[in-house]
Homo-oligomer: A and B are copies of this chain.
């Protein structure tokens, strides 16, 4: 139950239409909570029905017409409640690690190429994060809000750093593996 709260956060940062939200989820928020436009429209409908947000009255709501939303006090209260409440971390699922485990049983065919593919993607993401850090968080300034946001970005950078290092190490192991590609 996090998507509505992700949307509330985004709308508090700036009132937006469904498609604008989708675009913002493709960038900053989507780095740790992705969503498609179908999910977002569905959720906007629910949030409006619950009285947590409302459409800006300026535009009339016909299909194909842009419709922007803003957060109502009830929505802000719900977000504050959710943010303050303790939550157990969800177990994480990782297909690549699962495939490695499977490969230990049925063979490593095809894995090495995919490790390289993942490595390239993580390297690119890391570069993107570091660019954002240099642009948005110059050293030695920024209020408490900036420090929180920087902390989140830092997690992204460190995570991508971990993956690039681990994948590099994994590829080294692979090239040393005696019986790969028994052609």
Contact = CB atoms under 8 A, between A and B. Distances in A.
A95 B87 contact: yes
Contacts of A94: 32-33, 155
A152 B109 contact: no
Given A76-B106, A166-B158, A178-B144, A114 B100 contact: no
28 contacts: A2-B93, A6-B98, A8-B102, A9-B98, A9-B102, A12-B105, A30-B91, A32-B98, A33-B97, A33-B98, A79-B102, A80-B109, A82-B99, A83-B107, A83-B109, A84-B107, A84-B111, A85-B110, A92-B92, A94-B155, A100-B151, A100-B152, A103-B148, A144-B177, A151-B173, A154-B166, A155-B166, A158-B166
Interface of A: 2, 5-6, 8-9, 12-13, 29-30, 32-34, 76, 79-80, 82-87, 89-111, 113-114, 117-118, 121, 144-145, 147-149, 151-152, 154-156, 158-159, 162, 165-166, 169-170, 173, 177-179
